[in-house]
Amino acid sequence: MDHFAGLDVSVKETSVCIVDDAGKIVREVKVASEPDALLEVLKSPAYHFKRIGLEAGPLSQWLFSALAEAGLPVICVETRHMRSALKAQINKTDRNDTRGIAQMMRVGLYRPVHVKTLRSQKKLSPSRTICAPPCATLASRLVWWGR
């Protein structure tokens, strides 16, 4: 039996909802927003995940990388699309959002977002440090001349 999960990530806690292929809620839990805590829940042998949905946000790159490295089928989804789909809910809570994300993963109503690897981000950082100071001084000169 295939399972689908929705993760609603906040800074301290992440709400997790796991549903089966019929849409029945199998498990709901809140864990710390750290990869180890999420892997403890998601790597259970009782579940065979087809998709795990994670809304794009400040912690999504870190969590996405850790879950993908663990071999889980994690998908980072577009925030605006997810928000518009979840707006129809009467009570907007983390628990209801997580349920909605899990159901959207089950039926395929999501827009995936490309998440850059940490390695590719580190490759970009030297070029940013080389280009950033000249641009900053140029901007400050333009502001000074504009006065």
Distance CA 130, CA 128 (A): 5
Strand-by-strand arrangement of the 13-20 sheet: 25-32, 13-20, 3-9, 49-55, 74-77
Q: φ and ψ at 80, to 5 degrees?
A: -65, -40
- Find the CATH number of the domain harbouring 80: 3.30.420.10
Q: Is the pTM of this model over 0.75?
A: yes
Per-residue pLDDT of the chain (147 residues; tens, 9 = 90+): 899 999 999 999 999 999 999 999 999 999 999 999 999 999 999 999 999 999 888 888 899 999 999 999 999 988 776 777 777 777 778 788 889 899 889 988 787 888 877 676 666 556 555 655 555 555 555 555 555
Residues 109 and 138 both lie in one domain: no
Distance CA 3, CA 19 (A): 6
Residues 93 and 140 both lie in one domain: no
- Chain segment 43-61, per-residue pLDDT in tens: 999 999 999 999 888 888 8
Domain containing 134 equals 118-147
Residues 64 and 9 both lie in one domain: yes
- The total domain count for the chain is 2
